[in-house]
Structure 1
């Protein structure tokens, strides 16, 4: 698999990235190790994790995913040099006091979190270190509107950049990025970095899939013009775009075994909306009408988009990994892409 440059940097990554947030919850450690081994065999050398993982987040599994990856690396001498390893510092608490106390995300928090991640990952450096969600109070994870009355920001962006700069200077981090960001946030991080000689972000990791295309309205232009790469997460819409929930929905004894049926808290989030499932069913049928599986359509939509630098796939089984990687060969016709746009025009972005 050919690599691509991430943003304006010289960091080269594979256009498919293995997401690991299920490791330590839905995926046991030995299975996770086997999945990572197979990803390497198939040519995927870009892995993404976070201090908060595994998901759904719990105090008992905080840091579990990084620990699993660290033990995998330790057991495979030389493997660390073969992969690009990305992780994230969690933003303000959002009801997870086990991540950190208080509401903010200070410069000291960023540095302490990085050092803890390095220890769990058993590595000296993180190739791409990202802010998991903004320190500012912005719409994210399904909330739709910015409300200045709810603003709780305590750490200016410049101060966050300066903390990240210290990590880069110390050799703990190679490149920096954002996640769940807005056009304003991307612009401001780039502007301040250029103005003050601080590290420039190379990427933002945001949701991007057929039922959540908010990125297509302004943030795509922002990132294109500023040369910031998109790491597209949830390309399968938390499983809705695989078709496994089409017949049964998320409830009842016959519901497919996936995180939307296994974890009650997931059903109350954006992916659990009736409108999201209704739209997913439309896209899934469109795929079948064109001789594709729903998974093939959903992944090819991301894999072949000019907007996407790398698509993050998350799996719980080896079979899912193989299916997701095999979809790399799928090409979508202009007619099929136009049909996707027509569904979006009618049903909009129900999982934004």
Structure 2
């Protein structure tokens, strides 16, 4: 397993990160423990979770994923062997989280304390803002329209509170997620002005169907040392090809939760079919090819994989051993030219 150091930190993270958002919904605690044990045996040291997990989010299960990880840590020990990341929920209609989550000082402090309790740890290696408080383009939204908003938690309040948590030793480093180039620039500007901690990572979607990160944010990764933690590298599993031609495998996320429709359009299906056929023409597993492409990008600090079965997990982890040759990469670029970002 390859490891990469997050710039402006002493965190060395495995190039494959274990995502956890199915635990407590599609996966039982026992299955999660099996995934964790196997991942660590394969050299993965980076675990990513969030206070709102599992998904699809609902009142009855909120926080279950962190509790599962906490139970595993309590049983196994070795907290110092892993890099543990979680997230505070951005503004949303999830009323069951603090009456409606916001990125205010009071809510961030409360969220962090609750996460630490569920995770049964004294500190988080990386604490991330899950999405902005302001209305902007995230989760695939296009056509930005600016409007002045009232009652918005400013980035200065959010970052200032995170700085307090770092000072208190409850958080080692901070990151952001689902952010825009302007948002990242503002976090960096405020950190410079106030002497607050810099963000060391940004967790945004990146996959063969959504390469929008390359347009405005990849340069930040190189010039400012803010590595991408790529989530949804298989586009909700779509890039495996298992949903083509209307297939809906039993227990799969899109089968269970129709709300996850971002990668289901006609153009997305055509692009997916082209990528699957390219992989098959080169005798590659389509999912491994898609993951290996993400792994190969220099701005990617870690690739966040998830799985509901051990077979999926083993195959996804093994993608780190796959190096795509020039012919495959040329084929990928040709398909991208035909279907540029069909699912931003």
What interval of TM-score do these two structures reach, taking the shorter chain for normalisation? over 0.9
Q: Does 1:300 find its partner at 2:292? A: yes
The 1-side partners of 2:253 and 2:84 are apart by 25
Aligned to 1:84: 83
State the partner residue of 2:98.
Answer: 100
Q: Distance in 2 between matches of 1:167 and 1:17?
A: 24
Secondary structure (helix, strand or coil) at the match of 1:148 reads coil
Q: Identify the match of residue 284 of structure 1 among 271, 276, 281.
A: 276
SS at match of 1:177: strand
Q: 1:122 aligns to what?
A: 120
Does the aligned pair in 2 maintain the 1:137–1:153 contact within 8 Å? no
Q: Does 1:232 align with 2:226?
A: no
Kindly tell me: are residues 102 and 2 of structure 1, through their superposed partners in 2, closer, same or farther at Cα, counting changes over 3 Å? closer
2:137 maps to 139
What is the CA deviation profile of residues 136-188 of structure 1, one whole-angstrom value per residue up to 9, with x for unaligned ones?
A: 21111121122213745622211111100110011100000000011111111
Give, in whole Å, the separation in 2 of the partners of 1:256 and 1:296. 21
Provide Cα deviations, 1:222-257, integer angstroms capped at 9, x if missing partner: 22211101000011110111111124344xxxx454
What CA deviation, in whole Å up to 9, does each residue of 1:264-312 have, x standing for no partner?
A: 222xx31232322221111111111111110111010011111211000
Q: 1:263 aligns with which of 254, 257, 264?
A: 257
CA distance in 2, matches of 1:125, 1:208: 28
1:316 to 298, 302, 308: 308
Q: 1:212 aligns with which of 207, 210, 215?
A: 210
2 CA distance for matches of 1:240 and 1:334?
Answer: 24
Q: Which residue does the alignment assign to 1:30?
A: 30
Structure 1 residues 120 and 191, CA, compared in 2 at 3 Å: closer, same or farther? Answer: same
Matching residue of 2:244? 246
CA deviation vs aligned residue, 1:117-142 (integer Å, no higher than 9, x gap):
00000000000000000112111112
Alignment correspondent of 1:74: 74
1:245, 1:256 within 8 Å by CA — same for their partners in 2? no
Q: Aligned pair 1:13/2:7, yes or no?
A: no
Question: Which deviates more, 148-157 or 312-321?
Answer: 148-157
Given that 1:244 and 1:256 are in contact with CA atoms closer than 8 Å, whether structure 2 keeps it comes out as: no
Secondary structure of the corresponding residue to residue 241 of structure 1:
helix
Shift of 1:217: 0.5
Tell me, yes or no, if the aligned pair for 2:95 and 2:101 is still in contact at 8 Å: no
Aligned residues: 344
- Name 2:3's counterpart in structure 1: 3
Candidates 192, 212, 216, aligned match of 2:190: 192
CA RMSD in angstroms, aligned pairs only:
1.4
**How far apart in 2 are the matches of 1:33 and 1:147?**
44
Asked whether the 8 Å contact 2:94–2:101 carries over to 1, the reply is no
Q: 1:50 maps to which residue?
A: 50
Please give the TM-score of this superposition, normalised by the length of structure 2: 0.96
Q: Which runs of 5+ in 1 are unaligned?
A: none
Q: Find the aligned partners of 2:247 and 2:138 in 1 and give their Cα distance.
A: 25
Alignment partner of 1:184: what SS? helix
| Alpha-carbon distance between aligned partners in 2 of 1:61 and 1:319, rounded to the nearest angstrom | 25
SS in 2 for 1:217: helix
8 Å contact kept, 2:21–2:53: yes
TM-aligned CA distance change 1:256 to 1:152, over 3 Å: farther
8 Å CA contact 1:7–1:228 kept in 2: the answer is yes
The alignment partner of 1:129 has SS state of strand
